[in-house]
Amino acid sequence: MADRGRGASRGFRGTAGPARGGRHMPPQPTMDKPKREAILDLSKYANERIRVKFTGGREGMCQALQRITGILKGYDQLLNLVLDEVQEELQGDVEPKTRTLGLVVLRGPTITLLSPVDGSEEIANPFLAQE
């Protein structure tokens, strides 16, 4: 009973050595996970004009919602986009402003909406309170 609590009767506790019980565990086989499929197929929008909305990092009286339109030239699985002939529309408190940017790269995590320009039109918000 004198050795109780000192680790002598408990194996290799506290020291580097084999696993509990003195046995070595064989290495576990690695299971290959199936590759994830992309939810959004952007290949059908290649070289087409698209509209992208995302939240901007602009500060001031309110966060400005930015809308970008341009021709899709490239993308990756993280939804990072390369657009050409880009027009940026800033909608703030005063009046909307438009500027031409040319070739840009958009970070995927900041994108909130992506839609083709052709075949779609903007409508009034039916849930907005009538004044």
pLDDT digits (tens, 9 = 90+) for 17-62: 555 556 666 666 667 777 666 677 889 999 999 999 877 654 444 4
| 57, part of any domain | yes
Selection from 70, 66, 77, 71 nearest residue 112 by Cα: 66
CATH code of residue 72: 2.30.30.100
Strand partners, 34: none
| 52, part of any domain | yes
Q: Average per-residue pLDDT in the chain?
A: 76
| 95, part of any domain | yes
| 49, part of any domain | yes
| 109, part of any domain | yes
| 94, part of any domain | yes
Residue 117 token pair: 């320009």
Q: How many domains does the chain have?
A: 1
More confident residue, 38 or 107: 107
Mean pLDDT is highest, among 55-59, 64-68, 73-77, 96-100, for 73-77
* CA-to-CA separations, 51 to 71, 73, 84, in angstroms, rounded: 9, 13, 12
- Residue range(s) defining the domain that contains residue 107: 42-116
pLDDT at 128: 81
| 100, part of any domain | yes
Q: Please compute the mean of the pLDDT values over residues 97-108 and round it to a whole number.
A: 91
